Amino acid sequence: MNAPVTFSTALSVRDQFPAIPAGWHYLDTAATAQKPQAVIDAITNGYARDYATVHRGVYQRSSDMTLAYEAARAATARFLGAASADEIVFTKGATEAINLVAYALPKDGRDRVLLSALEHHSNIVPWQLAGYAIDVCPLTADGRIDLDAAEKLVTDRTRIVSFAHVSNVLGSVLDARHAAAIAHGKGALLLLDGCQAAPRLAVDVASLDCDFYALSGHKLYGPTGIGALYGRAALLESMAPWQGGGSMIDRVTFEGTTYAPPPGRFEAGTPHIVGALGLHAAIDWVEGIGLPAIHAHESALTRAAREALRRTNAVRLFGPDDSAGIVSFAYEGVHPHDVATILDDAGVAIRAGHHCAQPLMDVLGVPATARASFAAYCGADDVEALVDGLKRVKRIFG
């Protein structure tokens, strides 16, 4: 680990992120991304200059805000390649999006869901709570979802296959089209958890042939409390509301209620209006740089980090070499929390723990891992700081 980190990357956007001061190395983007000034400005203006309710008022500012809110929906649809903005439901995040599908999707006589061993808890617990029986797809030796095994596990009782598009621990990328073919071949549906994929991979739901796609705004350089669910129009039409309240209705009487068409029927109550504006700004920012450029940038950083960490026998790396923006590792004889604490003293912020993926930790045979995750605002200096910080770990623990 003594060799210097020498490579160059194409992006230089860190000055657009006011919460990243000089000398601080933020490597926890897989948990939540920092926000560019364009997103901060959109949120500030949304509250300080433009704020009003949506879908209710007839006064001009309310009408303008409604147009802005629905423009955010249209931008999200374009970003995901949806056929229509009506296929986009705004949620609090990917967790709520998956819960929505788990509770609202008619089982149609099928009571099983196929998950994989690397799923986030938010793609496990909702299915349990909604009464599904769970089948678990194993992983390949390098930490990918084993689709050969998946093909054998999908049966005529499988209602839905729900996989992470990119693992939040291993960074492994799913062959989503292959997964869709497997699911559809047995009459099942496919949901993709796109939390880690949407910020770094170009997503086209039509090309992927998925039935549902979930994302969280705060991992996409946007605000917390806003996310989106893409659902095929016919499927959304078949689903009953899972929450009741204002906005999601057609007509209410004490004798009975009729519901609005999708996506409105799934958006009960006053929505996170300014969150949607912030998400729109984040999408515009990402599209302005280009996801291919972001992915290439992060891939270079990830390769450099893995190569640097591989130079010491004390570090065990997890996941494939072509992991997407995420490097998980264990330092022999040192708990990941101690690694993270020492790195924090050196100005390097990483995640340590089970990453809301306890079943995966059982598969890996560790209680936790340390995880460095990259973004558009990261650079070679962040990799260097990580490597230097691990030298401090070695000096302290021997």
Active-site annotation holder among 137, 195, 210, 356? 356
Burial profile 367-393: b = 16 or more Cβ within 10 angstroms, e = fewer:
ebbbbbbbbbbbbbebbbbbbbbbeeb
Catalytic-residue membership of 356 = yes
**Distance separating alpha carbons of residues 65 and 48, to the nearest angstrom:** 13
The residues assigned a catalytic role are: 356
